[in-house]
Homo-oligomer: A and B are copies of this chain.
Amino acid sequence: MSNMKSIVMSDGHLRLEDIPMPVPGSGQVLVKTRACGICGSDLHLTRHTQEVFDVYAALGIVSEEARADPRIMLGHEFCAEVVSYGPDTEQSLPVGTRVTSVPFLLTEEGQLGVGVTPEVYGAYSEYFLLQEGLLLPVPENVPDEAAAMAEPLAVGLHAVNRSDITPGEVALVAGCGPIGLACIVALRLRGVKTIIASDPQADKRDMALHFGASHAIDPMHEDEMQLSAELAGQSRVIIFECVGIAKLVPDFLQRAPQKSCLVFTGIHTADITLNVALATVKELDIQFSYYYQPEEFAQSLQSLANGDVDWKSMCTAKVGIDGVPEAFDMLMKPNDHIKVIIEPWRNGALEAQR
Contacts and interface: CB of A to CB of B under 8 A. Distances in A.
A255 to B, nearest CB: 12
Interface string A277-307: 1111111111111100000000000000000
A268 B276 contact: yes
Interface residues of A, number: 36
Contacts of A330: none
A249 B277 CA distance: 13
Nearest to A51: B277
A68 interface: no
A181 to B, nearest CB: 20
B276 A273 contact: no
Contacts of A288: 276, 279-280, 282-285
Contact of A59 (B58, B246, B281): B281
A272 interface: yes
Nearest to A158: B283
A332 interface: no
A313 to B, nearest CB: 28
Nearest to A162: B283
A264 B280 contact: yes
A2 interface: no
Contacts of A267: 276-277, 280-281
A46 to B, nearest CB: 16
Interface centre among A269, A279, A280, A284 (most CB of B within 10 A): A280
A284 B271 CA distance: 15
A212 to B, nearest CB: 26
Nearest to A268: B276
Contact of A249 (B51, B271, B276): B276
A52 interface: yes
B280 A271 contact: no
Contacts of A283: 162, 288-290
Nearest to A250: B271
A55 interface: yes
Nearest to A249: B276
A234 interface: no
A278 B246 contact: no
A275 interface: yes
Contacts of A52: 277
A274 interface: yes
A234 to B, nearest CB: 13
A205 to B, nearest CB: 26
A270 interface: yes
Contacts of A269: 276-277
